[in-house]
Amino acid sequence: MRTHHWLMAAVAVALLGACQQGQAGGERLAPEPLIEPIDPVTNPIAAVKERERQMQEYPDLQKMRTDIFAMIGSAEADNVQQCRVIGFGHKPCGGPAEYIAYSTKGVNETVLQQRIASYNKAAEAENMRLGRMSDCAIVPEPAVSLVDGQCRLTGPDKQDVM
């Protein structure tokens, strides 16, 4: 019984280490420290200016997300062949955070895919910068179907996003 507990502990440590390394297997850089470069007590004006400068360095993920969903719109389609599923966001352990459905009807698919790729890359950078962790669960890709003229995710792992 003692060997069984030791073996379970070893497996748990190995899995945790694999999760923290990410699924890509590549070496990740340590996130930048989250410290104030200028003391806001001694120099509040310079501290505010530095914070504004730092904020401009990082993309606005919420704005990117809003723009992507505005481009997708209601995902209207004439047939299910116009419906697509794409990974969206980034889990700290690797892989998409979720999946979204979109329609190729009335959307420049190449531009949409480029914007989603940029968002995914920015989300990964944000996760690394902030040192975020996740449950390391793999989010399976759901199926897509046409429901009342709109592309929707279907299946047991569907999410309520487009």
In the prediction, which pLDDT does 138 show? 85
> CA-CA distance, 7 to 36, in Å (whole number)?
44
Tokens representing residue 77 in the block: 């389609």
Q: Is the dihedral of CA 24, 25, 27, 32 positive or negative?
A: positive
In the prediction, which pLDDT does 111 show? 97
Regions of the chain with pLDDT less than 50: 1-25, 159-162
In the prediction, which pLDDT does 156 show? 58
In the prediction, which pLDDT does 21 show? 43
- Phi and psi, residue 57, nearest 5°: -70, -25
> CA-CA distance, 149 to 45, in Å (whole number)?
54
Question: Tokens 């389609």, residue?
Answer: 77
Name the residue type at position 9.
A
Q: Are 81 and 114 in contact (CB under 8 A)?
A: no
Tell me the pTM.
0.65
What are the sequence ranges of the domains in the chain?
Answer: 2-154
In the prediction, which pLDDT does 74 show? 96
